[in-house]
Amino acid sequence: MSAFPSILEGIKDLELGHIKALLRRTNDLKSGQPPRLPLQKTLAVATSFLENSTRTKLSFAMAIMRIGGYHIDFHAESSSLKKGESLEQTLLTLKYQGVDICIIRTNESHLLDQFREYPPIKIINGGDGINQHPTQALLDLYTLQDHFGGLKNIKGKTISIVGDCIHSRVTHSLTDLLPQFGVNVLLCGPDFFIPEEMPAGVNRVTSLDEAIEQSDAIYLLRVQTERHDKSISDKLKNYQQEWGLTFDRFRKHSKVLPVFHPGPANIGIEVEQDIVNSEIWMAHKQVQNSVFVRMAIIEAMINNEDHHIGSQYKKIPGDISERIRNT
Q: Which is nearer to ligand CP, 266 or 303 (CB)?
A: 266
Q: Least separation, in Å, of the C-beta of 71 and ligand CP?
A: 15
Q: Least separation, in Å, of the C-beta of 160 and ligand CP?
A: 18
Distance spanning both ends of the chain, measured CA to CA: 46
DSSP character at residue 215? -
**Residue (of 9, 18, 5) closest to 180 by Cα position:** 18
Q: Least separation, in Å, of the C-beta of 294 and ligand CP?
A: 11
- Classified as helix, coil or strand, 74 is strand
Q: Which is nearer to ligand CP, 95 or 105 (CB)?
A: 105
Q: Which is nearer to ligand CP, 215 or 290 (CB)?
A: 290
Q: Least separation, in Å, of the C-beta of 63 and ligand CP?
A: 13
Q: How far, in Å, are 121, 160, 237, 294, 304 from residue 301 at the CA level?
A: 11, 31, 45, 11, 5
Q: Which is nearer to ligand CP, 55 or 204 (CB)?
A: 55
What's the rounded Cα separation, in Å, for the pair 66 and 35? 9
- Classified as helix, coil or strand, 262 is coil
Q: Least separation, in Å, of the C-beta of 282 and ligand CP?
A: 13
CB-CB contact of 221 with 270 (8 Å)? yes
Q: Least separation, in Å, of the C-beta of 130 and ligand CP?
A: 13
CB-CB contact of 205 with 214 (8 Å)? yes
Q: Which is nearer to ligand CP, 179 or 263 (CB)?
A: 263
CB-CB contact of 210 with 159 (8 Å)? no
Bridge-partner residues for 101, per DSSP? 45, 122
Q: Which is nearer to ligand CP, 145 or 168 (CB)?
A: 168
Q: Which is nearer to ligand CP, 94 or 221 (CB)?
A: 221
How big, in percent rounded to 5, are the helix, strand and coil portions of the chain?
A: 45, 15, 35
What are the residues binding ligand CP (CB under 6 A)?
53-56, 127, 136, 262-264
Q: Least separation, in Å, of the C-beta of 54 and ligand CP?
A: 4
CB-CB contact of 113 with 9 (8 Å)? yes
What's the rounded Cα separation, in Å, for the pair 43 and 68? 7
Backbone φ/ψ region at 149: left (φ over 0), alpha (ψ -120 to 50), beta: left
What's the rounded Cα separation, in Å, for the pair 224 and 230? 13
Q: Which is nearer to ligand CP, 50 or 205 (CB)?
A: 50
Q: Least separation, in Å, of the C-beta of 324 and ligand CP?
A: 49
H or E segment and range at residue 72: strand 70-74
